C-alpha cells in the first residue's frame, strides 16, 4: 500500500517561495511547524521584522502528520510534572497547558483558519485493571485542579465510542480535534498577513554567530538576524551542536478508511470526540470531517511489506473495536516522528545568547508547541525568561538513543503482532 497522507490530500496550499538573495530581519525562525509558526505570528503581530525558513513545506514535520488531538496538559500525569519541575514551574506549566486548547481554538477563530476545528472534547480510553487505575489516578489529579473532566463508566464509554472494547474513559471538555496540517498552513497564512516572510524549500545549512547577531545560509540565500529561534523538534539535523541526541525519535503511523456510511457514523463516535487509550503501545481513534475512521499507533510505515503488516494490525484492531463494520478499505496511510525527551517533558534551551529553542514535546505538541512558540516570542518581546512556563535547561544527551529507538519500535511491532494473534 502506497504512503499517502490524508492531511496532505485535504489541506489548502500555501503560496511561499524559496529564499533567494540576502535579507535582514530582527528574528529568524528555523522550522515551519506549530512552534515556529506560533512564534512568528506573535512576533509579526507585535511589529517585529521576522522571517521563517522551512526546509521542505510548512507542516512537513510532526505538525502535518499528527493525529490532531488538541489536548490540554502533557502525556505525563499532572502530579508527576510537579515532581519533576517542582511546584512553581509545575503549576505554571499546568496552567499554561490547561489553557492550550483554548489558545489553539482561539487562534483558529481569530485568523479564520479552516481546519475542521471540533472542540467537542477528547476521550482517554482505559482497559483492564491497570488502564482503569491510570484513568482514576489522572481523573483525581485533574479534579483537584478543577479541570472540566468526566469519568465515564463502561456503558457511557460504549455510548460515546460505539464499541464495548474499553471499560472506562475520561472525557475532557477542554479538548477537541483539528485537521493538523490545515492548522499549520493557516498559522503560516496568518503570519504572512501580519508581515512575516515565510520561505519553503529553504533548508538552513549553516548558522554562524556574528558580533551582533546571526547569519543563516540556505542554498540560494542568506538571512542576518539579531535573534534566532530554532523550531525543528523531531526533524532536527546536525545544524546546531548535538541537539538530535536530546530526543529519541519514535514513529507513529495512521491508517484512514474510506468514509463511513451515515448509519455507521451514528454509531461510531457520534459526538466526534478524538480518542487515545492507556495501552502499553498507545492506539488513537478518530474520525475526519468526511467520516473516515482513522486508527493510529506506534510504528513506521517504511515500505510495502511493513505497511502491509501494520495494515493487517489496523484491520484486526478495527474488527475488535467495531465488529459491525466488517473489512474496511484503507485509503490513506502515513507516519511521522515523535521526539521523546529523556524525561518526557518539553525543554526550553538558550543554546547560545540569542539562540532559543523548545523541543522534546514527547507526543503532545499541538497545544504545547503553540504555547511555547508564543512564550518564546513573549521573551523576545521583553518578558523575562524566568517568567515563561518552562524553566531554562541545558540540553541533555540521551545515551544509547539509537538502541532505545530500535527497542521501542521493535517492541511495538511485537506488541501489534501479539494483538493480531490474540
Ligand atoms: C504521528 C504523530 C502523531 C502525533 N499526534 C499528536 C496529537 O494528536 N496531539 C498532539 O498534541 N501532538 C501530537 N503529536 C506531536 C506534535 O505533532 C509535535 O509535537 C508538534 O507538531 C511539534 O511541532 P514543532 O513545530 O515543534 O516541530 P515540527 O512540526 O516537527 O516542525 C519542525 C520543522 O523543522 C523543519 N526543519 C528541520 N531542519 C530544518 C532546517 N535546517 N532548516 C529549515 N527547516 C528545518 C522540518 O522540515 C519541520 O517541518 C504527534 C506527532 C506525530 C509525529
Q: What is the pLDDT of residue 45?
A: 98
Q: What is the pLDDT of residue 420?
A: 74
Of all residues in the chain, what percent are helix, strand and coil, respectively (each to 5)?
40, 25, 35
**Percent residues over pLDDT 90 in the chain:** 91
Query: H-type helices in 11-151, by residue range?
Result: 34-45, 78-98, 100-110, 128-144
Q: What is the pLDDT of residue 412?
A: 82
Length of the chain: 422
Average model confidence (pLDDT) for the chain?
96
**What is the topology classification, in CATH, of domain 6-66+181-244+342-399?**
FAD/NAD(P)-binding domain (3.50.50)
The response to whether residue 233 sits with its C-beta less than 6 Å from ligand 1 reads yes
Superfamily assignment of 117-177+248-341+405-421 in CATH? D-Amino Acid Oxidase, subunit A, domain 2 (3.30.9.10)
Residue 329 burial (C-beta neighbours within 10 Å; 0-12, 13-18, 19+): exposed
Residue 233 Cα to ligand 1 midpoint, Å, equals: 6
The response to whether residue 122 sits with its C-beta less than 6 Å from ligand 1 reads no
Q: How far apart are the first and last CA of the chain?
A: 24
- Does pLDDT of 304 surpass 70? no
Atom of ligand 1 nearest to the CA of 335: 1
Q: What is the pLDDT of residues 249-268, one digit of tens each?
A: 999 999 999 999 999 999 99
Residue 8 Cα to ligand 1 midpoint, Å, equals: 14
The response to whether residue 361 sits with its C-beta less than 6 Å from ligand 1 reads yes
d(C-alpha 26, C-alpha 49), whole Å: 5
- Does pLDDT of 69 surpass 90? yes
* Residue 130, C-alpha cell as written in the block: 491497570
d(C-alpha 314, C-alpha 332), whole Å: 12
Q: What is the pLDDT of residue 342?
A: 94
The response to whether residue 313 sits with its C-beta less than 6 Å from ligand 1 reads no
Which ranges in the chain are annotated with CATH 3.30.9.10? 117-177+248-341+405-421
The response to whether residue 363 sits with its C-beta less than 6 Å from ligand 1 reads yes
Query: pTM here?
Result: 0.97
Atom of ligand 1 nearest to the CA of 338: 53
Q: What is the pLDDT of residues 345-386, one digit of tens each?
A: 999 999 999 999 999 999 999 999 999 999 999 999 999 999
Amino acid at each position: 500500500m502506497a504512503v499517502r497522507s490524508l492531511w496532505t490530500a485535504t489541506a489548502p496550499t500555501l503560496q511561499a517561495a524559496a529564499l533567494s538573495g540576502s535579507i535582514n530581519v530582527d528574528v529568524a525562525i528555523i522550522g515551519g511547524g506549530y512552534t515556529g509558526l506560533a512564534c512568528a505570528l506573535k512576533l509579526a503581530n507585535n511589529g517585529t521584522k521576522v522571517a521563517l525558513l522551512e526546509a521542505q513545506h510548512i507542516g512537513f514535520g510532526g505538525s502535518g502528520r499528527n493525529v490532531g488531538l488538541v489536548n490540554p496538559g502533557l502525556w505525563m500525569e499532572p502530579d508527576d510534572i510537579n515532581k519533576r519541575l517542582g511546584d512553581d514551574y509545575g503549576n505554571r506549566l499546568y496552567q499554561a497547558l490547561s489553557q492550550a486548547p483554548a489558545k489553539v481554538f482561539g487562534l483558529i477563530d481569530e485568523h479564520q483558519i479552516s481546519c475542521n476545528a471540533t472542540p467537542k472534547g477528547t476521550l482517554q480510553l482505559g482497559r483492564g485493571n491497570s488502564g482503569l487505575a491510570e484513568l482514576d489516578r489522572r481523573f483525581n489529579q485533574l479534579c483537584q485542579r478543577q479541570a472540566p473532566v468526566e469519568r465515564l463508566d463502561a456503558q457511557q464509554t460504549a455510548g460515546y465510542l460505539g464499541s464495548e472494547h474499553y471499560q472506562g474513559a475520561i472525557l475532557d471538555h477542554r479538548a477537541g480535534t483539528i485537521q493538523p496540517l490545515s492548522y499549520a498552513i493557516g498559522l503560516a497564512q496568518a503570519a504572512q498577513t501580519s508581515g512575516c516572510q515565510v520561505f519553503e524549500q529553504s533548508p538552513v545549512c549553516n548558522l554562524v554567530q556574528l558580533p551582533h547577531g546571526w547569519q543563516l545560509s540556505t542554498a540560494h540565500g542568506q538571512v542576518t538576524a539579531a535573534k534566532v529561534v530554532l523550531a525543528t523538534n523531531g526533524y532536527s539535523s546536525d545544524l546546531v551542536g548535538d541537539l538530535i541526541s536530546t530526543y529519541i525519535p519514535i514513529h507513529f503511523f495512521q491508517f484512514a478508511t474510506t468514509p463511513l456510511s451515515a448509519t455507521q457514523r451514528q454509531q461510531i463516535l457520534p459526538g466526534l470526540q478524538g480518542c487515545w487509550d492507556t495501552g502499553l503501545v498507545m492506539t488513537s481513534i478518530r474520525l475526519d470531517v468526511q467520516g473516515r475512521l482513522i486508527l493510529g499507533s506506534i510504528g513506521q510505515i517504511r515500505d510495502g511489506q511493513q505497511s502491509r503488516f501494520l495494515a493487517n494490525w489496523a484491520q484486526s484492531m478495527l474488527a475488535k473495536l467495531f465488529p459491525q463494520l466488517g473489512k474496511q478499505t484503507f485509503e490513506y496511510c502515513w507516519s511521522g516522528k515523535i521526539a521523546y525527551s529523556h524525561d518526557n517533558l518539553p525543554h526550553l534551551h538558550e543554546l547560545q545568547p540569542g539562540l532559543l529553542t523548545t523541543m522534546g514535546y514527547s507526543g503532545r505538541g499541538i497545544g504545547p508547541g503553540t504555547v511555547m512558540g508564543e512564550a518564546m516570542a513573549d521573551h523576545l518581546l521583553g518578558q523575562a525568561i524566568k517568567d515563561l512556563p518552562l524553566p531554562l535547561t541545558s540540553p541533555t544527551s540521551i545515551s544509547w538513543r539509537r538502541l532505545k529507538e530500535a527497542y521501542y519500535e521493535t517492541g511495538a511491532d511485537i506488541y501489534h503482532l501479539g494483538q493480531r494473534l490474540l
